[in-house]
Structure 1
Amino acid sequence: MIATLTRSKPDQTGSRQPPSDREATLLGKPMPADRVRGWVVTLVLTAIGGLVRFQNLGFPTDKGTPVFDEKYYAGQAWQILRNGGYEDNAGYEYIVHPPLAKQLIATGEWLFGYDGWGWRFASAIAGTLIILLTIRIARRLTRSTLLGGIAGILVVCDGVLHLQSRMAMLDIFIALFVLAAFACLLADRDQVRSRLATAVREGWIGESRFGPRLGFRWWRFAAGLMVGLSFAVKWSGLYHMAAFGLLCVALDVAARRAAGVRRPWAGTLIRDVAPALWAFVGLAFLIYLGSWWAWFASETGTDRHYVEIANIAPGIFGWIPPALRSLGDYSMNVLHFHETLLTPKNEPHPWESKPWTWPMGLRPMLYYYESGEAAAGCGGADCVRATMLIGTPALWWLALPMLGWGLWRWFFHADWRYATVLVGYLAGLLPWFLNLDRQMYYFYATSLAPFLILGLTLALGQILGHANRGFERRGTGLVVVALYTGLVVANFAWLWPVLNGDTITNAHWQAELWLPSWR
């Protein structure tokens, strides 16, 4: 009964009763009625974005080999493909991340072989799916198909998401699964409120001071599944696991309070916290362990028999199977690697950056560079081909205003939409401040990009205003939003040569480097 979609009860004459104030507060503004048009907009923009991601995907390469950090992950994915799902070359350094993303990269290599198309195919698919998810999330947050479409244009035109979708690296997969978890959380929020609205309308919301049980929540289950997949890509998924778990509980408390539950905090603790822990911790860790399936089944996987070979006494952990203990010790070695991956005092990496530079993209990364005869074809003698990870400035340079406005809306207007978006954004940024001596790079900020765009879309929605506020107000808002969207598209078009490795003159290359820190 509580899972039934909320709708007004007909009275004895067959007419619909209007919802009560409490029910209306719970349900909020309804989703747009133009469902078909919403999906048409979503699929058309996703298809356009996919074409942009996939065009000339096999270029550039380093004489047919991967470029930049692709050299690690494309090669490890090839090992995985050869071995049926696991890495076994203990002499090959830097096998320091869980296997899921490399297994996904291996699927492209299985389809197309060991070339640029092969090792980048899965990343391009992930980047295209991010476009689809961002449109649907923005539409749900704003209840506007127009704003969902604008978010889609912005995400297509972001330089970070564009280039990371064209590189065989891991961070685009983190961004995909984190964003998918966020989408599931929003759908769960709406479903919970719909079920509570049913209880309010039917008059049994107050039967318990803790509020009703809400039944099995498939969207919360799916959110836990997605954060588990992000954890199986990189351990940094743990931060989003914790943040989204807390966000889920906070949304439940808010929903129970809006429904008039007498003890919303106690009701959430009693009714919701244990299932949330199962979804965001138990299920997520099972997904993480499941990503190691091939390693567990192997005999030659890296450190598969570590505790036996190193003759490590089990001690109080003797009840744990040796395979799990080997994975634990292997993981401790990996943790030690990450903790001691410090910036050399006298020889820092030339493109290293710290997290306070990421919101505005102040220190991008050069992935590939050729000049002179190797880059001939620009119509002159001094040619350059380069790919550089740059966030579109028309988007990224508004990160701090977006954060400031979002915090204002969150704390002084209790705007849950900004609150949820900022939780996703800050979960990808703040944890990197815990160890500033560690080597860090701008591509770690890939997961920030969709949340930046969602925050900007919410602000654009406020600039646009409601359709019923008058022609002049709405018209002015439309002009401002259209001009800004056009600026982002133009900015992306300007960056296109250095995001895709097109041949340009050296003068053009220098003109692309707007800030001294970009050089």
Structure 2
Amino acid sequence: MTQVTDQRTTAPFGAVPSWSSPGPLRPAPDFGPTDRLRGWLVTAFLTTIAAITRFTMLNYPTDAGTPVFDEKHYAPQAWQVLTGGGVEDNPGYGLVVHPPVGKQLIAIGEALFGYNGWGWRFSTAVAGTLLVLLVIRIVRRMTRSTLIGAIAGILLIADGLTFVSSRIGMLDIFLALFVTAAFGCLIVDRDEVRARIASAYAEGRIGVTSLGPRLGVRWWRFGAGILLGSACATKWSGIYFIAAFGLMSVYFDLSARRTYGVRRPWFGTAIRDIGPALYALVLVPLGVYLASYWAWFASETGVYRYMPGNPAATDPIGTDGFWSHIVPGALRSLWYFNARSLEFHTQLTNSAGNHHPWESKPWTWPMGLRPMLYYYADTGVTGCDQSKCVKAVMLIGTPAIWWVALPVLAWMLWRSVVRRDWRYGAVLVGYGAALLPWFTTLDRQMYYFYAVPMAPFLVMGVALTLGEVLGPARRNPAVHRQAASDRYPPPSERRSLGLLTVCLYLGLVIANFIWLWPILTALPITPDTWHNQLWLPSWR
């Protein structure tokens, strides 16, 4: 007589069980998608589409051959980086209030194409294209579905916020690229950690110590640290992602230890995981940040380069005292430099009388209620087949994507808290790091382009939600009988209706993006068309 055993133990059926639920004791070994060739073909195709949209008419518009909007700060500073030995050492070009990496990247384009629209926008277009590639691969890995990854890529291609940010010589698209890439590294690191712990479990090593196994060298997390350091070396708001992603990475480790039955998972995480996480996600970014100032350290004329003992300093640094004997003068000068930059940002407040007609506050960003006008011309404009034409570039998120943000966020919260779906929780961590810290400084002058790092995570959340709408790919063969010769069971009616719904939504997004195209790319349009594009009073 065949003996019936429980799925989770080897105890005979009817014996006192050592389980509390009928599911498998440990998760199935699933540590990444397997359709590699198809996945890369889809990724390459959509990335090519993204590149075509980002690079088309990249050198247009300009202000009589000069930069537009805040390009006027970064394009000249990048040119100074290129021609001045890697450092912007002339405050006459404008305020040096951001770290150097973004300007160094812009300088690469200027080295290739010269001081023109192609030059100061080339690197941002590359960054915007790579951002699409990353989002496709990240969502594909989280969902184990090339289809859902492709959906995420299509959404990001058609997002007006990242589209415009990819076609103007500013820093925000670089920040978005670095933090998204760091997020992707930590998602791969999560899979690798679980694969290592699963291997230890299969080999019977999981209980050798109550702390669980050591996880070894984690190169993907080290890479995340380099990318987060690059983010901070582009804009200081990257530090929010260091804090958020550091906590997320440690939580991933704790969850893995608990899942595979480590006897003391909390203690094991505290002893074996927190220290390496601090090294990889705090010390490494700090080292990258300092290294980004390599040219400044080597220069003789860099802004604030030699401040200890400088009598011309507004807040002079002494040459004696405790810190002068411990911290090198170069680092003290860099501290002074950064303190002056921070002082500029902290004083740029509404209460101090600083106002801008297109500024916005963070509560308007999730739905893009207050976009920003980068460029507008109504004099000497032709090409709209009427006597009077206008052209404009407006930074605006595609409404078909951004206006569903609130219900999508609510769904993500429910899935994270009630259903314990780690994918939604991870995306919320990235989205929250991009949005929530700005609520602590509401008096500060803020703009919608600060929301650019939110866009990849919003798109990820929408794509995950659309994956739920799609439903399971096939009927359950245990429920629906099929011929023995059928290799795959037929799609369910539920799946077909879900696919139809998703296709209709993607069509709406693409149509919305095409509708906005004239005011995203400064095509000549009539004044009536311009006003028809401005759907909300807050867009005017």
* TM-score (norm: length of structure 1): 0.94
Match of 2:452 among 443, 446, 449: 446
SS at match of 1:51: helix
The one-letter code matched in structure 2 to 1:491 is N
1:391 aligned counterpart, secondary structure:
coil
Q: Shift of residue 346 of structure 1?
A: 6.2
Match of 1:483 among 489, 494, 504: 504
Amino acid of the structure 2 residue aligned with 1:246: L
Q: 1:307 deviation in Å?
A: 2.3
2:437 aligned with 1:427: no
Cross-structure match for 1:60:
61
**In structure 2, how many angstroms separate the alpha carbons of the residues matched to 1:265 and 1:344?**
46
Compute the displacement of 1:141 (Å). 1.1
Q: Deviations over 1:310-350 (max 9, x none)?
A: 35214221121111100001111111111111125767210
1:91 is displaced (CA, Å) by: 3.5
Would you say the 8 A contact 1:464–1:478 is kept in 2?
yes
Equivalent residue, structure 2, for 1:202: 203
Structure 1, unpaired ranges of 5+ = 1-19
CA distance, structure 1, for counterparts of residue 41 and residue 338 of structure 2? 45
Counterpart secondary structure, 1:86: coil
1:214 deviation in Å? 0.8
Matched residue, 2:12: none
Query: 1:403: Cα distance to partner?
Result: 1.1
- 1:330 maps to 2:332: no
Q: Give 1:174's aligned amino acid.
A: L
SS at the partner of 2:211? coil
The aligned counterpart of 1:313 is 318
Tell me which of the two structures has the higher relative contact order, counting C-alpha pairs closer than 8 angstroms and 6 or more residues apart.
1
Question: Counterpart of 1:492?
Answer: 513
Say if 1:160 and 1:389, in contact at 8 Å, map to a contact too. yes
Matches within 5 A, 1:251-266: 251-266=252-267
- Residue of structure 2 equivalent to 1:143: 144
Q: Which amino acid aligns with 2:499?
A: L
Indicate the residue corresponding to 1:112 in structure 2: 113
Aligned with 1:337: secondary structure?
Answer: helix
Moved more, 497-506 or 313-322: 313-322
Distance across 2 between alignment mates of 1:340 and 1:307? 24
Unpaired segments of 5 or more residues in structure 2? 1-22, 476-490
C-alpha deviation, 1:468, in angstroms: 2.5
Task: Provide the secondary structure at the position in 1 that maps to 2:234.
Answer: coil
Counterpart AA for 1:358: W
Shift of 1:284: 0.3
Report runs of 4+ in structure 1 exceeding 6 Å deviation: none
- Distance in 1 (alpha carbons) for counterparts of 2:116 and 2:179: 28
Q: Please tell me whether residue 404 in structure 1 is matched to residue 410 in structure 2.
A: yes
Asked whether the equivalents of residues 343 and 349 of structure 1 are also in contact (C-alpha less than 8 Å), the reply is: no
- Aligned-residue CA RMSD (Å): 1.3
Paired residues of 1:53 and 1:166 also in contact (CA < 8 A)? yes
CA contact (8 A) 1:23 1:200 kept: no
Q: Is the 8 A contact 2:351 2:443 kept in 1?
A: no
2:370 aligns with one of 346, 363, 370: 363
Deviation (angstroms), 1:23: 4.2
SS of the equivalent of 2:309 reads: helix
Q: Which amino acid aligns with 2:382?
A: A
Contact 2:354–2:445 under 8 Å retained in 1: no
- Cα offsets for 1:391-439 (capped at 9, x unmatched): 0000001111111111111111111000000000000000000110000
| Separation in 1, partners of 2:376, 2:493 | 50
Q: Which has the larger radius of gyration?
A: 2
For residue 115 of structure 2, give the secondary structure of its aligned residue in structure 1.
Answer: coil
Distance 1:92 1:117 in 2: 20
Answering whether residue 348 of structure 2 is matched by residue 341 of structure 1, we say: yes
- Residues 261-296 of structure 1, C-alpha deviations (whole Å, 9 max, x = no match): 011111011111100000111000000000000000
Query: Where does 1:127-142 land on structure 2 (aligned, <5 Å)?
Result: 127-142=128-143
Q: Which residue of 2 aligns with 1:11?
A: none
* 2:32–2:191 CA contact under 8 A, matched in 1: no
Correspondence for 2:535 among 508, 514, 518: 514
Number of residue pairs the alignment of both structures matches:
497
**1:268-307 alignment to 2 at 5 Å?**
268-307=269-308
Secondary structure, counterpart of 1:308 in structure 2: coil
Q: Does the aligned pair in 2 maintain the 1:23–1:201 contact within 8 Å?
A: no
The structure with more helix, counted as a fraction of residues: 1
Matched residue, 2:238: 237
SS across alignment from 1:342: coil
In 2, the alpha carbon distance for the partners of 1:95 and 1:320 equals 24
Give, in whole Å, the separation in 2 of the partners of 1:449 and 1:417.
17
- Residue identity opposite 2:509 in structure 1: V
Letter in 2 for 1:49: A
Task: Tell me the residue number matched to 1:10.
Answer: none
The answer on 1:472 being equivalent to 2:472 is no
**What is the match of residue 15 of structure 1?**
none
Contact 2:73–2:93 at 8 Å: present in 1 too? no
* Corresponding letter in the other structure for 1:85: G
Query: In 2, are the aligned partners of 1:22 and 1:200 still within 8 Å (CA)?
Result: no
1:83 maps to 84
Local SS of the residue matching 1:21: coil
CA distance in 2, matches of 1:107, 1:219: 26
C-alpha distance in 1, partners of 2:354/2:273? 51
How far apart in 1 are the matches of 2:41 and 2:492? 27
C-alpha displacement at 1:22, in angstroms?
A: 4.0
Name the SS for the 1:388 alignment partner.
strand
Amino acid at match of 1:500: T
In structure 1, C-alpha distance between the alignment counterparts of 2:270 and 2:346, rounded to whole Å: 35
In structure 2, relative to structure 1, the CA distance for the partners of 1:278 and 1:167 (3 Å cut) is: same
Once the two structures are superposed, residues 211-231 of structure 1 have per-residue CA deviations (whole angstroms, 9 ceiling, x without a partner) of 000110111111111111100
